[in-house]
Amino acid sequence: DLVVCAVPGFLGFNTLKAIIEAEKNVIDISFFPENSFDLDALAKQKKVTAIVDCGVAPGMDNIILGYYNEKLKLNFFECLVGGLPKMKKWPFCYKAPFSPMDVIEEYTRPARYVENGHVVVKEALTDCEYIEFDKVGTLESFNSDGLRSIIFTMPHIKDMKEKTLRYPGHVEYVKVLKESGFFNTKAIEVNGQKISPLDFTSKILFNEWKLGETEAELTVMRVTVKGINPQGKEETVVYNLHDEFCTKTNTSSMARTTGYTATAAANMFLEGLFKEKGVFPPELIGKHEACFNYFIKYLEERGVVYTRTLSV
């Protein structure tokens, strides 16, 4: 038996724990805030394989990192990723395929990254940069807390960061809301009724940020790794993803890039390519060449194509 766990993040850890206790193998894409390694001993005790964080990011970026960690002596990892509407609408130029509260949580949670071998914590929405992408143009990147497991599994890599992508101008508008208290969780009283600013803001933004079921959108990701190859030369490998809403199946790019990665993991496991017991983030799967190639081929067959560029 195999379970694919795709519950909301706040339910994820306890749901995953229950699945493991039931002695079921599991692929998880609930992206919960707790540390999945806390369940590693339980999974080994129950002789269960649990592959976690197996979406697009976290997910495929980890798989790429895990693969090249076996090929190069890595010193740099960067993931730039964002889901965006095809049509920009002022002021936020943004639509989300999930709850505004989840997006706001990403904007308020401190962002961890690794600089010169040390874990550094900064506020989210900081270190904004403009970056060019084919088919999209200029996008704005900013710090977000997306490294997750690789902070612990790849401590030898001196510089690592993950940044979220939005259309230019989005960050400034969000910062205005954040600094003005609209994301505060402490309840305030308005006309005799108590409500938290965050709940109020989420309700207001729900329609503004809600992505229509058939609304055109896209997912953009760029994964860069740098390291020394066996010949002693510095090598840079870049993987680019540009995926758009599929009109044939009426499936969003975010669903395709996330869901197909999870089903790739499920099929890979069922075909016997990975048999280890315990909790495994994707970088510990991608380190195996057969597993890495399976993911790339499986996604390509479904139109989710990662384009590789190599420079030495």
DSSP label at residue 238: E
- Tell me the pLDDT band of 270, cut-offs 50, 70 and 90: very high
Token pair of 23 as six digits: 């002695």
Contacts of 160 (CB under 8 A, 6+ apart): 76, 77, 78, 113, 114, 147, 150, 151, 154
Whether residue 212 is predicted with pLDDT greater than 90 in this model: the reply is no
Q: Are residues 224 and 84 in the same domain?
A: yes
> pLDDT tens across 118-136, in order?
999 999 999 999 999 999 9
Q: Are residues 102 and 238 in the same domain?
A: yes
Whether residue 98 is predicted with pLDDT greater than 80 in this model: the reply is no
206 phi and psi angles, rounded to 5 deg: -55, -50
Prediction pTM value:
0.94
Q: Which of 199, 226, 252 is the last residue of a domain?
A: 252
Q: Are residues 29 and 80 in the same domain?
A: no
- Whether residue 161 lies inside any domain: the answer is yes
Q: Please check whether residue 44 is in contact with residue 277, taking contact to mean a CB–CB distance below 8 angstroms.
A: yes
Whether residue 1 is predicted with pLDDT greater than 90 in this model: the reply is no
**Backbone region of residue 254 per phi and psi (left: phi > 0; alpha: psi in -120 to 50; beta: other values):** alpha
- Whether residue 204 lies inside any domain: the answer is yes
Q: Please check whether residue 76 is in contact with residue 226, taking contact to mean a CB–CB distance below 8 angstroms.
A: yes
Range of the domain at 38: 2-51
Q: Are residues 92 and 29 in the same domain?
A: no
Q: Rounded to an integer, what distance in angstroms lies between the CA atom of residue 299 and that of residue 168?
A: 30
> pLDDT tens across 61-96, in order?
999 999 999 999 999 999 999 999 999 999 999 998
Domain count, the chain: 2
- Tell me the pLDDT band of 206, cut-offs 50, 70 and 90: confident
- Whether residue 308 lies inside any domain: the answer is no
Q: Are residues 86 and 44 in the same domain?
A: no
Q: What number of H helices and E strands is found in the chain?
A: 10, 15
Q: Rounded to an integer, what distance in angstroms lies between the CA atom of residue 76 and that of residue 120?
A: 15
Q: Which of 252, 275, 290 is the last residue of a domain?
A: 252
- Whether residue 291 lies inside any domain: the answer is no
Q: Are residues 149 and 247 in the same domain?
A: yes
Q: Are residues 112 and 218 in the same domain?
A: yes
**What is the average pLDDT across 239-253?**
94
Residue 102 or residue 94, greater confidence: 94
> pLDDT tens across 7-30, in order?
888 899 999 999 999 999 999 999
Q: Which of 213, 228, 252 is the last residue of a domain?
A: 252
Whether residue 99 is predicted with pLDDT greater than 80 in this model: the reply is no
Q: Are residues 43 and 86 in the same domain?
A: no
